[in-house]
Amino acid sequence: MTSTRYARSAIALHWAIAFLLLFQLGLGWHMTSMGKGAAMYAAFQFHKSIGITVLALSVLRVAIRFVKPRPAPVESGVLTGLLMKLVHLGLYAFMIGGPLTGWIVVSTAKVAIPTRLFGVIPWPHLPVSHALNGIAMESHEVLAWMGLGLVALHLAGAVRHHLGGGHENVIGRMIPAVSAPEAARRAIPAALGAAGLLGAAFLSPWLLYRAAPAAPEAPASDTPVAGGSDPAAASSEAVEGPVQAETSEPGEAQTDAPASSEVAVPVAPTSTPAPEASATEAAKPVSWKVMDGGRLGFTASMSGTAIEGRFDQWSADILFDPDALAQSKITVRVPLLSVNTADGSRDSMLKGADFFGSAGTAVFRSSRIRHLGGERYTASGTLSMNGVSRPVTLAFTLHIEGARADVTGSTKLDRTAFGIGQGQWASTDQIAANVDVTFQFSARKAP
Ligand code: HEM
Ligand code: HEM
């Protein structure tokens, strides 16, 4: 009886792939219209994982087609037979081309982010030119629509053929059953059940990912798709360049105030502008070495919730003497990809194209250090990142005891002024513009 029915492996794969494809279609359309956030990134990650699974199953399906004998084609007119062949061919193109184009989209994104299927299996990128990104995205979407149309045709064809042919039992050839007569009895309920399940698979992403801000860690891997969908992502290289011109030489008289509109000085009230350089100009600042254990942190507000993070790598060149502020100078470098908010999925979003992906190293260079009285100081200067330079003032307290200095300070930044947060993140609906930056470290006088 096997000759009238598909092999069991072919049937199992047919339905598994059909189910997953419908889920993928729903998920693809849903996820690209979700508001950005952790839920969206989890959805993207799951889309990639399921998509590659479909690719593997489809390749297996094609292989089985060559190995296991297929039942003889059902009787049909020449034209119907041709149409059926074309639809099947198109379905195979969808099953394999859909995932392949998706894989190319991910491989050609501006910022290559390692892919990890289901959060576990590292998955390589295809070695293809970034120039293909646009066309891959187009094809991916066109194939999705084509696939949906073909599935509708295929379903209509199967039902029509089944009912029209009377004794043909076409659907019975593709449903699990122990015998052909049993398959025949079960065909119509099975087809209805299958159609219901496929419809549910298509709609389920809308239930699974309801864009709650504190999204399911669910199927997340730590791999957001820098899907190339955000051409707004900053293209600029890092950063150090523009600063130099604006930074005054250490010995120079300072003229500029931190007049920036964006930059607030949190700790330092504007009160009496202290007797900064009044001290002995003869004194020479000494170099300080930052000791291990310091922290450079930030707090951002996402949908009203405070998100705490830090940068794991940063370094500072400090030339400082309270009695020689005019010659003192602080330079801080922060490789932005060392961002760490203790959440893998959020971190990879921050390391993606919309945030720090191409923002390079942030560099702060002081141009003027002032003493506000007591242990309080400010350092005004220029912060450069993502190709943008802005005046920024750090407020800090400094406690020096012998060769050791303890420093605590803060500043406020407007992330939008630096183009951090592109695409939908450029608006401040979800992530506020203001980011509080805090730092705390100890330094030792270089011998
Ligand atoms: C995403 C959804 C689907 C895909 C990708 C798909 C794909 C395919 C492919 C490629 C074949 C050809 C197998 C061969 O190489 O001979 C096939 C056959 C078949 N499919 Fe589907 N299918 C889908 C959904 C459905 C649905 C909803 C039904 C519902 C009745 C169905 C019923 C059948 C039947 C009865 C056959 C066998 C046709 C024959 O005997 O020649 N398929 N399907
Ligand atoms: C298995 C079959 C797949 C189907 C049916 C499918 C379907 C879809 C659909 C309908 C969309 C929304 C298209 C739009 O309106 O922009 C989409 C987007 C996307 N898919 Fe897939 N997909 C599949 C596999 C994959 C795979 C394997 C990957 C990556 C490994 C992938 C990556 C993407 C990406 C990155 C987007 C977003 C593109 C954008 O930013 O517009 N897809 N997919």
Q: Does residue 340 surpass a pLDDT of 80? A: yes
To the nearest 10°, the Cα dihedral for 9, 11, 17, 21?
Answer: 180
- Tell me which of 13, 25, 29, 47 to substitute to probe ligand 2's pocket, judged by most ligand atoms within 8 Å of the beta carbon: 47
For atom 24 of ligand 1, the residue with the nearest CA is 18
Give the bridge partners for 383, in sequence order: 364, 390
pLDDT value, residue 161: 82
Which of 234-243, 264-273, 355-364, 395-404 has the weakest average pLDDT? 234-243
Residue 179 one-letter amino acid: S
- d(CA 28, CA 34) in angstroms, rounded, equals 10
Q: Which ligand 2 atom is at minimum distance from the Cα of 52?
A: 27
* Encoded tokens for 409: 């300070």
SS (H, E, C) 303-334: CCEEEEEEECCCEEEEEECCCCHHHCEEEEEE
Higher pLDDT, 172 or 436: 436
Q: Which residues line ligand 2 (CB under 6 A)?
A: 21, 24-25, 28-29, 32, 47-48, 51-52, 54, 98-99, 102-103, 105-106, 137, 140-141, 144, 147, 225, 227, 229
Q: What is the pLDDT of residue 111?
A: 59
Q: For 351, which DSSP code? A: T
Tens digits of residue pLDDT in 418-432: 989 887 787 787 788
The β-bridge partners of 410 are 395, 438
> Which one-letter DSSP state was computed for residue 420?
-
- H/E stretch holding 219 reads none
Give how far the C-alpha of residue 111 lies from the chain's centroid of Cα atoms, to the nearest Å.
9
Nearest protein CA to atom 39 of ligand 1, as residue:
170
N residues, the chain? 447
More confident residue, 112 or 411: 411
How does pLDDT run across 235-290, given as a tens digit for each residue?
222 222 222 222 223 332 333 333 333 333 333 333 333 333 333 345 789 999 99
The reply to whether ligand 1 has any atom less than 6 angstroms from the CB of 70 is yes
State residue 282's pLDDT score. 58
The two most distant CA atoms of the chain are separated, in Å, by 106
Whether 204 has a pLDDT exceeding 60, the answer reads yes
Domains and CATH numbers, the chain: 2-208 (1.20.120), 240-445 (2.40.128.110)
DSSP letter assigned to residue 431: B
CB contact at 8 A, 119 and 222: yes
Please report, to the nearest 10 degrees, the dihedral formed by the alpha carbons of residues 90, 94, 100, 105 taken in order: 120
Helix (H) or strand (E) holding 50: helix 38-67
**Mean pLDDT, the chain, as a whole number?**
80
pLDDT band at 168, cuts 50/70/90? low
By most ligand atoms within 8 Å of CB, the mutation choice from 24, 34, 95 for ligand 2 is 24
Q: Which ligand is nearest to the CA of 225?
A: 2
Tell me which range, 31-45, 173-187, 251-265, 374-388, is most confidently predicted by mean pLDDT. 374-388
Distance 84 CA to ligand 1 centre (A): 10
238 versus 205: the higher-pLDDT residue is 205
Tell me the CA–centroid distance for residue 261 and ligand 1, in Å: 63
| Closest Cα to atom 14 of ligand 1 | 88
pLDDT at residue 63, as a whole number = 95
For the segment 7-20, what is each residue's pLDDT rounded down to a tens digit?
Answer: 899 999 999 999 99
Which atom of ligand 1 lies nearest, measured to the CA of 175? 35
Cα separation of 263 and 316, whole Å? 21
